[in-house]
Structure formats: structure tokens, C-alpha cells
Structure 1
Amino acid sequence: MAARGGAGAHRQGGIGPGRHRTRASRAARRHRHPLPRPGSVIWRDPLVRVVPSPPERGSGRSSVSNDRRFDDDYIAAPLTYAAAIAARTSRVRIGTAIVIAPLHHPAEIAEQAAMVDLVSNGRLDLGIGAGYRVPEYELFGASLQRRYAQTDERAREIRRLWAPGGVTPRPVQDPPPIWMGYQGPQGARRAGLLGESLLSADAALWEPYRAGLAEAGHDVAAARMAGGIQAWVSEDPEAVAARIFDFVGDAPVETVFLWASVGGQPEETVARHIQTVCTRLAPILAAGRPAKEGR
């Protein structure tokens, strides 16, 4: 499968356990495909062949992203695809990175997310964000002008709709975690003010995120971060791990996502990349940053 994103790895060492952490490592995959194959096969075959294997063999998370009007058939409905993953797996957590929240009514997101959580028996991590592409907003007849404020509003409303008296059926988790897909200091602070997890692994965002949590009276010790790393799968996992440790610093990062492919790569190659991350890179990250010599 030609996947954008791919495997992720769980980082331990100085990070306290969270409510939704897995025992060992987490994995993430973002699916992306070239155009020549028939539409139904583009999504059905990789789901059958790749999803049940590497993630179910020790890694902890499978994550799907959301973009429209790309030439390579990027995922348009991440919660729909997440439900398909949920039906084919039993242990991995399933995340969205992200659902573009301003393009959807909060009740729609709350209902769909609740159904994925039910199908997966409580394994959903709902990542939402504002998006950035004009063609996507034009497709929905929406404006980018208030997208950040609208994303904040969606998070609050989804929380309300998951409570008693909201959508039915209700999710298994009470409630599922919401991850805010903000990548700058202002967004990190907003995630903190909301009391939600931050979908970024950048150590530079830890301070504004922590400040937002403290300002709004949330427990800073419960802070959770996860996100993408600009690194490629290679045959040198030690070098990749060192880069990851430098990037996340001392932030409370639980999960990192890595690119497993470029568009057009054979499915067998992408599956091997994911296996490398899950079996070779993840154990290095789980062991924590090596102590520097002389200390």
C-alpha cells in the first residue's frame, strides 16, 4: 500500500501513564495511493492486506488523516475508514489526524465518532483540526475566516453531545479523548485552555500548551501530546530515534507518526517500512533517551 504517514512509535522515559496509553508502542498510518487502480480496490485491498498485520503485532495505534481534492485520492472520510479499521482489528487504538471540524456539524462528528468507538469497543482517539486548503472549504461552501474559533467550538460541543442527553448511542469511553490538531503556539495554548490533548510532538509547543492548561485550571500533569515527525523510514533506526528524541525534548509526548512511503510505492514496500518502525524503531523509543556520557 502506498501510504502517506505510516507507522508510529510509542515514546517512554519520563512520561507518566495516560488514561488511554497502550502497554508498549503506538503505531499510526496515513493511507495514500496513486490513481491508476480502480477506485474500490484502492481502498479495499490495502485494508485487507496491511491493516490487520503490523499494527496487531505489537504496535499500538493506527491513524488516518483527511484531505480532499488531491490527485492521489487522499482520504476524504477518516471516520468511515476508521470504522473499517476497527472492524478488522481488536487491540490497536484508532485515531484521526485529523477530521477537519469546521466542515462538519458537531452532531455529525459526535455521532460518527461514537459509532467508531462502539465498533472498536472503546479504542478511538478523535483528532480534529481547522485544515488549511481553500479547495476543501470551497467544496463545502465554507469560509476559512473563523476556522480556528469554529474548531474550538466543535470540541466543546462534541464533549456536550457525548454526555447524557446528547447523541445516542453513546461511546464506550466516557468520554473518548479529543486531540486538537494545532501546530503553532497560539493553537497549543488554545488546546490547553480547552483541556484537550495536543496533536503535535513539537517540544517548542509544550510551554504554551502547559500555560493554557494552567490558565484554565486544568491539571498540567494530565497533559498529553502526540504528532508527526519529519523523518523517513530507513535502515538506521538509531539515527531516526536520536532525531525524534531531540524533537520531542521533555514534552509529554506519547506517540510520534512517521512517513512510511511516498505516493506510488508498492504495497509490499510500505508494509516492510511499517514493520521496520514497529519492530526496530519502537523498542528504541520505548527504552527512552540514552544517558549522555559523563553523567
Structure 2
Amino acid sequence: MTSPLYIQQGPSPTWWNSPAIWLTAQGDPSTGPKVISPIVGKPYTVWVEIQNFYMEADTGGWNLFVCWGIPFTGTLPSVNIGQILNGAMTSAGPQGAPITVTIPGGTLTSPGIVTLPAATTWTPTLQNGGHECLVAAVYDEQDIGGLPTSILLDGDATWNQSYSVAQHNLSVIAISMMMGNIVKYPFQVWNAADDDREFTVEAWQAPLSQIAHFLPGVQGGRKVLENPGKVNRLGLLASDKAESTELEKAPARVAGVKVPRRGARPFTLGVKLDKGNALIHVTQRLNGRVVGGLSVLAMAEEK
């Protein structure tokens, strides 16, 4: 029997920080130490927790798709075969692989849960600098036929009983006094619509408590909460070649960002933090609605 399945999104308003997608070092079990700061060139296993809120067990018909991407906001960008960690590339585009295990039934308060590894290990490349941006989707192939790429990651859209999608987009940057006044973090703003669109991109500091769940995988663990810092400067520039002097003067909010249909625009976030730890969110809005986001934990080196 087929029951609707679900991948938990992050807590509102940071739906892009799903606790149901995580990394462990290759060879470690799903319960092993979680990795938040992957190292370029080192292989990792990507795990996805899938939930079933219905009393009937799910015995087939659903597929799981997993991919990685350069840190981005907005709808799911174009995915090439090298980014697919669970599934394959077909003539119709990327598709998930069938889920071959039974997912037990559950209830709304106590769902049946299965944790599955992606079929392919993920080895971060210089292309994304080791930053995490992982996407997972489950969908009922018998019902909708294939991966619904046109709607993936369209903000915190309500759960559809034929598919569920979640994203893990939290990066950690270490800020050394040797780096100068401001640290640069490149990312992309995506528009998967069939028409050109204008977005508002904004960065701001948020309470560290919002990522408390992930801190066991960060150096220092929960002690990160004990050393909060205040960001001195946040700047955003629509370029991947931004200079530090430009970011020092750049605003933290940029309106009217034009992104072509099914295309991307490079951006750079500039962060200035002298001491302590700080959580920064970057959001992409369309007509006032958040349709994309990412988070960065900045950790300043102790003097």
C-alpha cells in the first residue's frame, strides 16, 4: 500500500535548515557524529529521514531524490548528473530512485520513520568550498510520474500528499584576524520560473538558538551558544568577484534583483565579526514572500 510520505523542513521561518538531512563521515552509521563543516576532498554519507504519518505502512511506489548544490537561495537550480546522490539522469531530467524498504505506519504525533543513506557518497569540491547545500525529495511516482522540479523549494509551501521536499543549507565560516576586515561568502540566487523575475535579497543576524539542534556537529558544540558575538557589518553584492572595499560599503538589503528565467545570479555576502559567534540568514523574497534562504554560522577566532 502507498501512504503519503514526508521529509521534515526546518522550523519556520528557516525552512531551509531541515533536521532530516545530515552528513556523517563515510563508513559511520546514521547515528554517528553529524558533520556540519565538510572538508573538500573527503567523502561523506548523506542521510535522509522519511516520515509516515498514516497508520498504514508504505510498501512501495515512492522515490527518493537527493542532490547537492553550490549554496543558493530560491527554487532548485539546474542539476547535472554529478550532483545527483540518489537517483539518476533520464531524458526527462533528474529522477529519484525507488524506495525499496517498508516504511512503518504511524500517527500525526508519532510517525513511522526510516532513515536512508543516499546511494552515492558526497565528496565536496572546490566548486562549493565544502559548504553544505543538500536537497532531498520524496514523491509518489505512481501518482505524479516524476520529480516535480518546477515546484521544488518554492519557499515553505504546504506539504503536498504526492511529494515532499526539504533542504539543508547551513554553512560555517571561521573568521581569522589574518583575513582582514571582512570575510566573503559567495552564493547564487536562482529563478526556476519560465519568466524573468525580480527579487529582494536581504541578510540579517539572528539568535544562535535557532541552530541549537545542529551545534553537536560544530566545533565547540553547544558552547557556541555561550559566546555570542555582534556582527559589525553585513553587505550584499550581486557579484562573485566582490572586493572587500566594496562589501564594506554595500547594503544588507538589495531590492529589484533581476534574475533571468531558469537562470541564476551570483552574489557575495560580506561578514565582519571581531569576536564571538554569529548566525546570519540570507533570504530571497518575491512579492513579499520568502522563496529561498540560506544560513551562515560565523565564528571569530579568539584573539
Same fold (TM over 0.5): no
Q: Which protein has the larger Cα radius of gyration, Structure 1 or Structure 2? A: 2
Q: TM-score range by the shorter chain?
A: under 0.3
Indicate the structure with greater strand content. 2
TM-score, structure 1 normalization: 0.28
Report the structure, 1 or 2, having the larger helix content.
1
Structure with the bigger RCO (C-alpha within 8 Å, sep 6+) is 1
TM-score scaled by length of structure 2: 0.27
